[in-house]
């Protein structure tokens, strides 16, 4: 059994027509399910029941260098979505070409623009994106 390799340069993010570049140095993508998944309740007599959340949407945080040209593209997308009164949801795809993880959605949107700080060195910008309930979220291993 050979060793597996992960290469962060092989993680491709597209939002609408733009390929995101300028990832932050450490964690540059964080994905969280917004629903509760499967919850369970145990009754007083010990009977257990489960309920499945129908909220399959995701909250995705993209962390980019403050120098990334993708900040301009994401700002423009956020501005258009607001100016068009919510007509600016765009396709999103995050693919790890060295693995089997895939996140995709036909209509994701930017929640709000990131806080902007300035210092002596290059900082980061954290963009929060939400997906529709149509999102695909597959967490896979390395190829």
pLDDT (tens, 9 = 90+) of the chain, 143 residues, equals: 688 999 999 999 999 999 999 999 999 999 999 999 999 999 999 999 999 999 999 999 999 999 999 999 999 999 999 999 999 999 999 999 999 999 999 999 999 999 999 999 999 999 999 999 999 999 999 88
53 domain-assigned: yes
81 domain-assigned: yes
1 domain-assigned: no
Burial class of residue 138 (count of CB atoms within 10 Å of its CB; 0-12, 13-18, 19+): exposed
Q: How many domains does the chain have?
A: 1
Query: Could you list the residue range(s) of the whole structural domain that residue 20 is in?
Result: 8-138
- Please state the pTM of the whole predicted model: 0.91
Q: Which of 129, 56, 55 is nearest to 94 (CA)?
A: 129
Task: Please give the biggest Cα pair distance in the chain.
Answer: 62
124 domain-assigned: yes
143 domain-assigned: no
Q: What is the CATH classification number for the domain harbouring 61?
A: 2.40.30
């Amino acid at each position: 059994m050979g060793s597996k390799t992960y290469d962060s340069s092989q993680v491709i993010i597209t939002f609408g027509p733009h390929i995101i570049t300028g990832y932050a140095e450490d964690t540059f993508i964080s994905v969280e399910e917004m629903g509760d998944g499967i919850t369970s309740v145990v009754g007083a007599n010990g009977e257990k029941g489960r309920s499945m959340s129908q909220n399959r949407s995701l909250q995705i945080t993209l962390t980019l260098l403050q120098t990334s040209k993708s900040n301009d593209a994401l700002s423009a997308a956020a501005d258009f979505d607001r100016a068009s009164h919510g007509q600016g949801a765009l396709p999103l795809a995050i693919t790890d070409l060295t693995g089997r993880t895939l996140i995709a959605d036909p209509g994701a949107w930017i929640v709000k623009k990131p806080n902007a700080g300035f210092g002596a060195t290059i900082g980061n910008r954290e963009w929060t994106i939400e997906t529709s309930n149509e999102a695909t979220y597959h967490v896979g291993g390395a190829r």
